[in-house]
């Protein structure tokens, strides 16, 4: 049994009276410690794929298995808990809550379900890991794009997920910051969390240990 599996995952949309598959029968298996990157052009279906994988969007065909269970068959409460507990998600674009400090943003997922433990300590360790502990008391508007991205990554890890999913985590960053963020993902994968990212940039190719390309909804191993 795999950790996280997409089986013939499909999303059909309609536009202008015509149906098309934004994601077309995609199968993928993710194991603990994997670092998988998917590259593909704008509109190729990357976000649609990740949103179905993270349980945010319902597929029109196929399934997403997490530890052998089809997540789209869970009820709302079960799915919310599974997402909160097991799947870290870094959405495309800016996703921090603007009225909360960085420190509070990072802790929010921890408070969504009843938990016990030292969340302050853990939040601080994560901020150190992503290199922005000095910004704990700052608000998102006071941060650069790369710093916001690091905060979102720290937030996605607060509940020690088994999988970290990130949608274009380096989209608007310079080459140097991109390299730093990609190294951070490598170290997260080395610690056993599976990492699955999508990007449209070829310069992230050197980091993931398995690379796929997405083209018009179809996923295939990336030819080097």
**Residue whose Cβ sits closest to Mg ion:** 47
Tokens of 96: 């921090």
Report the residue number, 25 or 92, with the smaller CB distance to Mg ion: 92
**40 interacts with ligand ATP by CB under 6 A:** yes
Least distance (Å) from Mg ion to the CB of residue 139? 26
Number of residues assigned to the chain: 224
Query: Whole-angstrom Cα distance, residue 39 to residue 48?
Result: 13
**21 interacts with ligand ATP by CB under 6 A:** no
Report the residue number, 49 or 132, with the smaller CB distance to ligand ATP: 49
Report the residue number, 193 or 199, with the smaller CB distance to ligand ATP: 199
**15 interacts with ligand ATP by CB under 6 A:** yes
**47 interacts with Mg ion by CB under 5 A:** yes
Helical segments of the chain, H only: 46-53, 76-86, 102-111, 119-129, 145-157, 175-190
Least distance (Å) from Mg ion to the CB of residue 116? 37
CA atoms within 13 A on the CB side of 56: 13
Identify the three-state secondary structure at position 81. helix
Which of 22, 26, 102, 154 is the binder for ligand ATP (CB under 6 A)? Answer: 22
State which of positions 92-111 bind ligand ATP (CB under 6 A): 92
- With vertex at residue 212, the alpha carbon angle to CA 207 and CA 215, rounded to the nearest 5 degrees, is 130
**45 interacts with ligand ATP by CB under 6 A:** yes
**51 interacts with Mg ion by CB under 5 A:** no
**208 interacts with ligand ATP by CB under 6 A:** no
**47 interacts with ligand ATP by CB under 6 A:** yes
| Among Mg ion, ligand ATP, none, partner that 13 touches (CB below 5 to 8 angstroms by kind) | ligand ATP
**What is the 8-class DSSP label of residue 222?**
P
116 φ/ψ angles, rounded to the nearest 5 degrees:
-120, 145
State which of positions 143-182 bind ligand ATP (CB under 6 A): none
**200 interacts with ligand ATP by CB under 6 A:** yes
Considering all CA atoms of the chain, what is the largest pairwise distance in Å, rounded to the nearest integer? 53
How many other CB atoms sit within 10 Å of the CB of residue 112? 13
**44 interacts with ligand ATP by CB under 6 A:** yes
- Angle, helices 102-111 vs 119-129, to 10°: value is 130
Query: Whole-angstrom Cα distance, residue 48 to residue 50?
Result: 6
Q: List interacting residues with Mg ion (CB under 5 A).
A: 46-47, 92
């Amino acid at each position: 049994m795999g950790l996280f599996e997409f089986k013939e995952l499909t999303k059909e949309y309609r536009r202008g009276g015509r149906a098309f598959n934004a994601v077309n029968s995609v199968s993928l298996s993710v194991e603990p410690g994997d670092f998988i990157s998917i590259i593909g052009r704008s509109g190729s279906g990357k976000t649609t794929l990740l949103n179905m994988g993270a349980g945010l969007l319902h597929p029109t065909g196929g399934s997403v298995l997490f530890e052998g269970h089809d997540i789209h068959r869970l009820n709302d409460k079960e799915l919310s808990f599974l997402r909160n507990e097991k799947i870290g998600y870094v959405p495309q674009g800016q996703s921090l809550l603007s009225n909360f400090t960085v420190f509070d943003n990072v802790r929010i997922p921890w408070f969504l379900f009843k938990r016990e433990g030292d969340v302050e300590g853990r939040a601080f360790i994560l901020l150190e890991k992503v290199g922005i502990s000095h910004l704990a008391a700052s608000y998102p508007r006071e941060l650069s794009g790369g710093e916001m991205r690091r905060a979102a990554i720290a937030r996605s890890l607060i509940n020690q997920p088994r999988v970290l999913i990130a949608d274009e985590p380096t989209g608007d960053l310079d080459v140097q910051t991109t390299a730093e963020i990609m190294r951070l993902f490598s170290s997260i994968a080395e610690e056993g969390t599976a990492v699955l990212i999508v990007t449209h940039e070829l310069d992230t190719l050197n980091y993931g240990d398995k690379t796929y390309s997405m083209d018009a909804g179809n996923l295939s191993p990336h030819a080097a």
